[in-house]
Amino acid sequence: MGHTDAYKFLHDNPAFDFRTIDYTNDPLVIAEHNNMVAINSALEIDLTGQATAESIGTLSHSGVGGQADFMRGAVLARGGKAILTLQSTAASDVVSRIVPSLKEGAGTTLIRGDIRYVVTEYGIAYLHGKNMRERAMELIGIAHPKFRPWLIEEAKKLNLIYGDQAFMPGKSGEYPERMETYRTTKDGLNIFIRPIKISDEPLLKNFVYSLSDQSMYRRFMSVRKDMPHERLQDLVIIDYTREVAILVFTTHDEKKELILGVGRYYIDPGMHTAEVAFAVRDDYQKRGIGTELLAYLTYLAKREGLLGFTAEVLAENRPMLHTFEKGGFDIKKTTVAGLCELKMTFKV
């Protein structure tokens, strides 16, 4: 392989260490490189997270190569990452590369335990440490939009996801990546804000369970803390033409995601306004997260041509009222039986 000139260049050149494959592809040698990143591709990946890069069914496409060696070596490396990239479709968008199951006879190049990050043109799925349902929902979320309803139904047949799993088809249910942003709070906390995803149900459940009874009562006007799947999926299945739901994190790292705050608004098309609400984890309150949430929701609402917000806040919830009062709105407040109704007009 290669040309004579290339070998002459390598010969006795101290800039190069020319080795055989039993050394270069040894996962333990690869793992010696700090921050090693392995990026590979695949022909197909199924909803449980196993992938083939060598065959389409029984039709052989290539050899195994060093893909598994480098993916495993990168995972073992300090600060390493293993990334599988693939286009969401093949054959001019006729075939989905994310499938319910690998085709019969396909060689499993990467087993479920090998794969950490999966990337398509529709986003990133982090699979490590997640159960089958979570893996399936993560991968459906980065599949081509036209194949997502089919994948949902096939996943139900395979008992990979809930039998009543809801889904928002078409453009209204597409993840609005344009809404992702970074902010710094008044407390100097760097935060990452992104729209909620269909696969965020476990994260949102953990967030709700983290709230104190007081925070639960102030946000939901109830101390009820059980959040079954039926209720949670109503909060993560979003029609982004009618509402917006965003989450706050301290990092853009899928394996360390912890929701610090949740904000959302529901559009009233007749009034060109939206009902707004947000909540912040107790251990991150008074750090400016609520202020940044409200400011970003306001920015998004103005961009959509809305004229203002409405909100219902308990009169005892002074921190929330204060956040609205300093939000730069023209506010009309009405208090009835301990409940403040706010009408907030955006200033030009």
CATH of the domain at 37: 3.40.1080.20
Based on the fold, state whether residues 107 and 239 are members of the same structural domain. Answer: no
Cα Rg of the chain, angstroms: 25
2 assigned to some structural domain: no
**C-alpha span between 236 and 243 (Å, rounded):** 11
Q: Among residues 165, 190, 209, which one ends one of the domains?
A: 165
4 assigned to some structural domain: no
> What pLDDT, on the 0 to 100 scale, is given for residue 65?
87
- pLDDT by residue, tens only, the chain of 348 residues: 889 999 999 999 999 998 999 999 999 999 999 999 999 999 999 999 999 999 999 999 888 889 999 999 999 999 999 999 999 999 999 999 999 999 999 999 999 999 999 999 999 999 999 999 999 999 999 999 999 999 999 999 999 999 999 999 888 888 999 999 999 999 999 999 999 999 999 999 999 999 998 998 888 777 777 889 999 999 999 999 999 999 999 987 777 789 999 999 999 999 999 999 999 999 999 999 999 999 999 999 999 999 999 999 999 999 999 999 999 999 999 999 999 999 999 987
Based on the fold, state whether residues 210 and 99 are members of the same structural domain. Answer: no
43 assigned to some structural domain: yes
5 assigned to some structural domain: no
> What pLDDT, on the 0 to 100 scale, is given for residue 100?
98
Based on the fold, state whether residues 160 and 182 are members of the same structural domain. Answer: no
> What pLDDT, on the 0 to 100 scale, is given for residue 255?
72
CB 295 within 8 A of CB 346: no
Helix axes 289-303, 318-325, angle to 10 degrees: 50
**C-alpha span between 257 and 236 (Å, rounded):** 16
Based on the fold, state whether residues 188 and 160 are members of the same structural domain. Answer: no
Count of structural domains, the chain? 2
Q: Which letter does DSSP use for residue 93 in this model?
A: T
Based on the fold, state whether residues 157 and 199 are members of the same structural domain. Answer: no
Q: What are phi and psi of 209, to 5 degrees?
A: -70, -20
> What pLDDT, on the 0 to 100 scale, is given for residue 169?
87
Based on the fold, state whether residues 147 and 189 are members of the same structural domain. Answer: no
CB proximity list for 290: less than 8 A, separation 6 or greater:
261, 278, 280, 319, 320, 323
Q: Among residues 165, 190, 210, which one ends one of the domains?
A: 165
- Per the structure, the complete domain to which residue 83 belongs is given by 11-165
6 assigned to some structural domain: no
DSSP letters, 1-26, are ---HHHHHHHTT-TT-----HHHHT-
Torsion angle of the four alpha carbons 279, 165, 227, 268, in this order, in degrees rounded to the nearest 10: 40
Q: Among residues 165, 188, 213, which one ends one of the domains?
A: 165
Residue 182, amino acid: Y
Based on the fold, state whether residues 200 and 277 are members of the same structural domain. Answer: yes
**C-alpha span between 176 and 194 (Å, rounded):** 9
332 assigned to some structural domain: yes
Based on the fold, state whether residues 240 and 257 are members of the same structural domain. Answer: yes
